[in-house]
Structure 1
Amino acid sequence: MVALGNGNLAEISKTADVPAYDRGALTPGIAHFGVGNFHRAHQCVYLDDLFATGADHDFAVVGLGVRPEEKAAFADLTAQDGLYTVTEVDEGVRRTRVIGSVVRLVEPGDRAATMSVLTDPAIRIVTLTITEGGYYLSGDKPNLDHPDLAADAADLSASRTVFGLIVSALAERQKAGTAPFTVLCCDNLPHNGDLTRKLVTGLARKADPALADHIETAVAFPNSMVDRITPATTPVQAQSLRDETGIEDKRPVFCEPFIQWVVEENFCNGRPALETVGVTFVEDVTPYELMKLRILNAGHATIAYPAALLGLTYAHDAMRDDLVLRFFRDVEENELLPTAPGIEGVSREDYLATVTSRFANPAIADTLRRLALDGSNRQPKFILPSVRERLARGEDISGLALVGALWCRYCYGTLEDGTDIEPNDPNWDALQAAARAARDEPRRFLEQRDIFGDLAENPVYAEAFSGHLKALWRDGVRPVLEGYLARRAG
C-alpha cells in the first residue's frame, strides 16, 4: 500500500491520475466550511481541473469546521497533506484521481486559527457545504432566535457557529480596512445565497446594526445550484480502492461521473476562472434551480416511496423495476416536466434523459432510504410547488397526488411486507402519528399546514390524495400503480 502524501505522488501516478500542477505553488484564496464528501467531489474537483490549466493558483482551499465530529476527518486529511481520491463510477466505468486543491485544514473548534484564516486578506471567498441542518431553519426561514445564534450575537468575540464566525471575520476585516469576502453557499437549498444573506445580515443586525448595514452593501452572496450524486463511502468501496490501486486513502470519495455547478455572477472580491472548466456563470440561477428541483429532486421522491415500500434498496433497483420506472416516466413527462422552466440552449427532455440514466447507475449504490429522507422538508420544496402551479392552471395532478399518498403510506412506518421502517425524518413522530390517523381519515395527513399549507382545503388535490391513500391500504402498492398507469394509458 502507498499512503497518500505529497512525497508519494510519483508512485501513486502509476495507478491513478495525480495533480497536474505543482502543489507547492498553490496559495489559499478560498476558505470552506464543511469538507465532506460532496464538497470534495464537487467544488474541489472543479478547482483541481482549473489549477491543472495553470490558472488561479492563488485560489486553493483551506478547510474549516465547527463540529467536534469533524475532527477525525480533518486529522485524516491533514495526515495526507490534504490529498484524497475521487473515484467516478458508472456501469463498466471506474476512474480514480487524486485531488490536490485543499492545501490546509484547521482543526474544528480552533476559533483563533479559524479567525486567522477568515481575516486573511488573501481569502476572497468563503464557501459552505454544511448541510441543510446547519442553517437553523424554521420552515423555510432561518430562526435567528436559536440559542446558538443568540449566543453569538450577544458576544461576537466568542462566536462559534459558522455564521457567527463569518460575521466576526467581516467585522474584523472592516476594522482593518480589508476588503470583504464573497460568501458562496454550495448546499442544495433553493435560493441558497439569499438564505445565507438573511442569516448573516440578521445575525449581524442583532449584534451591531452598523455592521449589518456594511454587510448588506459590501458583501456578495451569489445563489448557486450544485449537482453530483455523492453517497457516503462504504467500507466495501474503500477496500476496493486499496485492492485496485494500492492507494491507502483514509477518506476516499466515490461519486457519479456527472457534475454540474451554476453560479450567479455576483462576487465582491474576485473569483477564479471556473467557467474555463465547466462551471456556468449566469445572471439568475433560478431557472436552473427550478429545473433541478422539479425534475431531479421531485424524481427522487417519485421513485423513493413506492420502491422502498416494495422492499427495494437502491435507486437503480427502482429504475429496473418496470412498474416503478413506468410510474416515474409518467409523472415526470406529464406533470413535472411541464412545470420546469425553459432555459435557452437547455433541453428539458435531454435533462430528464440524463436524470433517468443517472438514477439507473448501479455503481453509485444510492439508497432509497437516503432519497426518502426528510420528506417533511423536501415535499414542500420539490413536489408541492408543481402541484400548486398545475392546480392554478386547471391541470391534472393525479400523479403528484399519488406521490404524496405514497409518502404518507411510508410515514406509517411499515413496508408492504410489514417490516418496520426506521425513523427517517427529523419530524418522524409527528409524521407517523398523522399517517396512522390518515389510514381511516386520509385528510388528517393534509392537516399538517406547515407542510401542505392550504392544499387540505383544495377539493381537487384532497380528493385525489384521499382516493390514492385509501386504495394503497385496500389494494397495495403494485395494484395501485398498475391501476393508475392503466387509467393513464386508457
Structure 2
Amino acid sequence: MTSYKLNSENLSKFADSAAIPTYDRADVKVGIVHIGIGGFHRAHEAYYTDQLLHEDGNKDWGICGIALLDFDQKIYNTLKNQDGLYTLIVKELDGTLTKTIVGSIVEYLFAPENPIAVIEKMAHSDIKIITLTITEGGYNYNEATKRFDFENPLIQHDLENPAAPKTIFGYLTQALKSRKEQKLKGLAIQSCDNVQGNGHMIQDMLLSYVEKAEPSLLDWIKKNVSFPNSMVDRITPATNQSDITELINNSGIDDAWPVVCEPFKQWVIEDDFVAQRPAWENVGAQFVPDVVPYEKMKLSLLNAGHSVLGILGALKGYATIDEAVHDPAISQFLSLYMDVEVTPVLGNLEGVDLKNYKHSLIQRFGNIYIKDQIDRICSETSAKLPIFILPTVNAQLNENSSVKLAAFVIAAWAIYSLGTDENGKDLVIKDALADTLHEKALEAKVEPKQFLTIESVFGDLKNSEPFVNAYTESYHNIIKHGIEKCVVDLNSKVLNKIK
C-alpha cells in the first residue's frame, strides 16, 4: 500500500482508511491551552474536543498544546511536522482497530524554546480554559509535610527567574499576572491528572506558590479563576514501533507518533467554569456537581489496580499488564484487594454499579491487544502509591480493618526496588526517587521497616504497628518463598476469612 506523511496537505488521502476531520481546521480558533500533550491527553481531551468541533457552532475550542519540559521536544517536533494531526488507534476487545485522525490541536509551542510565547498564549483573551496532564508528580506536593515543596530546585529557579520559568507554577503565575494587568476576564484551570481532588490540588499548590512569588496576585486569582475537579479514564499504553509500522502498512498513514488506547473512555467534570466552556457533554462527557465519588472509585480501583498488577507482575517477570491479569493467582489477588480492602472505604456511590465496574476493570486490564507495558505502569510509583493505595490503607487502619493485601503490595514494591525480578532479570525503574528507593530497598534487606522511612511517600505509616507487622511478614515471606507461592497462600487465607 502506498503511504503518505500525515499532514494537512495529505489529509484527504486517508478518508478511506480512517475517520478524518470534516471541519475546516483553518477556521478553528484556539480557546484551550493544554499543558502536557502526551498520549493520554491525545486519547482523551483532544479526542473529545475533535468530536465536538464536528458540530456546528463549536469552532472556538481549538487546542494549543504546550510541550513544557526539555524531553517533550520529540512530541513537539512530531506535531509541528504533522500540522498538529495524529492518529488515534482504538484497539477493540476483538482485535479490530478503529482509526481516527484527530485535528483539534491547531497550535503547538515548545516552552523551553520560547517561554514568553507560552506565557503570552496563556494570557491571551481568547483563552478560556487551561487544562493539565502534568503527571501525579507534577503538582510538587510533599506527602510528608502535606505542603508545596519549595525546596525543589526548579521552583527556586522560577522564583528567581519569573520571566523564564521551568515549572507549570511559574508559567501560570506569570500568565495570570498578565491577564490581571490587561484587565482581562479570568479563566478555568482544569486538571486531567489522576489526583484525588485534582482541581483542589492545583488550586492549593498554585496559591501556595503565588503567595511567595506574586502575593499581590492572590486576591485576583481567588475572584477570577476556577479550578474544576475532574475524573478521566482511558487506558493509553505507550506507542510501539509495531503500531507505527502496522498503521503504515495497513492504512497508508505515515504517522510518526500515533496514539493507541482501549475503547472505554470516561470524563466526569465538575461544572465550575468562570468563563465559557465547550459543550463536551454533547460528545459523551458528564458534567456533575460533585466529582469526588467518581474519582475516588477510579483512583482506588483502576489506578491502584494497575499498580498492583504492575508490581506483582514485574517481580514474576511479566512484561505487560494483560499477562499479569491472566495469571489466575494475581487476578484473584486483585479481585480480593478491590472487594475486601477498597470497597468498604469507598462510601456511598449513588448511581454506580460497583460490582459491574470492578468486573469491567478485569476485562479491560486483560485486553490482549493493548499490551500496556508494566515498566510504564510502574514508572513514578513513588508519586502514584500515595494517591492510589495509601488513602485506602489509612482508611482501613482508621476502621481497624484489614490491610494485609495492600501491605503485601508495598512489600513487593520494596523488593522490586532492588532492581531485579525473581528470574534475575534487571528491572527498568523510572522514578524521580529511584536512588532513594534503591538505597532504602538495600537497607530493607536487613530491616524491612527501613523502606517505610521514605516520608515523602509513606508519611508516618512506619508508626502504624498493624501495617508494619503485615508488611514485614509479607516481606519475609516473599524473600523466602517467592511471589507466586505467597500470592496463592495469601489469597487462600483471605478467602477462608471471608467465608
Q: Does 1:98 align with 2:101?
A: yes
Q: Deviations over 1:54-86 (max 9, x none)?
A: 242101111223333333422321232211110
> What secondary structure sits across from 1:254 in the alignment?
strand
CA distance in 1, matches of 2:21, 2:317: 43
Which residue identity does 2:240 align to in structure 1?
T
Q: Cα 1:385–1:440, aligned 2, differ >3 Å: closer, same or farther?
A: same
Deviations, residues 185-217 of structure 1 (Å, cap 9, x unaligned): 222222222222233323333233221211122
Offset, 1:174: 1.6
Pairing of 1:2-401 with structure 2 (within 5 A)? 2-91=4-93, 92-108=95-111, 109-139=113-143, 141-154=147-160, 156-401=162-407
Take 1:128 and 1:175, find their aligned partners in 2: how far apart are those partners?
Answer: 24
Contact 1:342 1:348 in 2 (8 A): no
What is the letter of the counterpart of residue 100 of structure 1? G
Q: Give the Cα separation in 2 of the matches to 1:157 and 1:430.
A: 33
The reply to whether residue 402 of structure 1 matches residue 408 of structure 2 is yes
C-alpha deviations, 1:74-103, integer Å up to 9, x for none? 232123221111000134221111001111
* C-alpha spacing 1:309/1:58, structure 2 compared with 1 (3 Å): same
Q: In 1, Cα distance between the equivalents of 2:457 and 2:419?
A: 19
Whole-Å separation in 1 of the counterparts to 2:72 and 2:420: 33
Assess if the C-alpha contact under 8 Å between 1:141 and 1:195 holds in 2: no
Matched residue SS, 1:106: strand
Residue 433 of structure 2 aligns with which residue? 427
Deviates more, 1:398-407 or 1:413-422: 413-422
Between stretches 111-120 and 302-311, larger displacement belongs to: 111-120
Instruction: Report the 3-state secondary structure (helix = DSSP H, G, I; strand = E; otherwise coil) of the residue aligned with 1:32.
Output: strand
| 1:467 has 2:473 as partner | yes
Judge conservation of contact 1:323–1:482 (CA < 8 Å) in 2.
Answer: yes
Mark the runs of 5 or more structure 1 residues left unpaired by the alignment.
none
Q: State the one-letter code of the partner of 1:32.
A: H
Query: CA offsets, 1:328-385, max 9 Å, x none?
Result: 1121222222222332211111211121111101111111222222332322222222
Residues matched between the structures, number: 490
Q: Residues 270 and 322 of structure 1: is their aligned pair in 2 closer, same or farther, counting only changes over 3 Å?
A: same
Q: 1:405 to 1:72 in 2, by over 3 A?
A: closer
The answer to which of 31-40 and 63-72 deviates more is 63-72
SS at match of 1:242: helix
Q: CA deviation at 1:24?
A: 2.7
C-alpha distance in structure 1 between counterparts of 2:154 and 2:312, whole Å: 39
Secondary structure, in 3 states, of the residue corresponding to 2:33?
Answer: strand
**Alpha-carbon distance in structure 2 between the residues aligned to 1:64 and 1:365:** 28
Partner of 1:486: 492
Q: RMSD of aligned C-alpha atoms? A: 2.1
SS of the residue corresponding to residue 21 of structure 1 reads coil
Higher mean alpha-carbon deviation, 375-384 vs 179-188, is at 375-384
Q: Does the 8 Å CA contact 2:33/2:127 hold for their aligned counterparts?
A: yes
Q: Distance in 2 between matches of 1:398 and 1:455?
A: 14
Cα separation, partners in 2 of 1:48 and 1:489, compared to 1, 3 Å:
same
Q: Give, as a single letter, the amino acid of the residue that structure 2 aligns with 1:65.
A: A
Shift of 1:105: 1.6
Structure 2 distance, partners of 1:428, 1:112, is 33
CA 1:412/1:65 → structure 2, altered by over 3 Å: closer, same or farther?
closer
Runs of 4+ in 1 over 6 A off after TM superposition: none
Matched to 2:96, the amino acid is V
- The whole-number CA distance in structure 2 between the counterparts of 1:45 and 1:97 is 9
Larger mean Cα displacement after TM superposition, 426-435 or 281-290: 426-435
In the alignment, the residues of structure 2 paired with residue 21 and residue 59 of structure 1 have an alpha-carbon distance, to the nearest angstrom, of 12
- Whichever residue aligns with residue 268 of structure 2, its letter is V
**Superposition TM-score, scaled by structure 2 size:** 0.92
Query: Relative to structure 1, is the Cα distance of residues 53 and 138 closer, same or farther in structure 2, using a 3 angstrom cutoff?
Result: same
Gaps in structure 2 of 5+ consecutive residues: none
Q: Structure 1 residues 452, 118: CA separation in 2 closer, same or farther (over 3 Å shift)?
A: closer
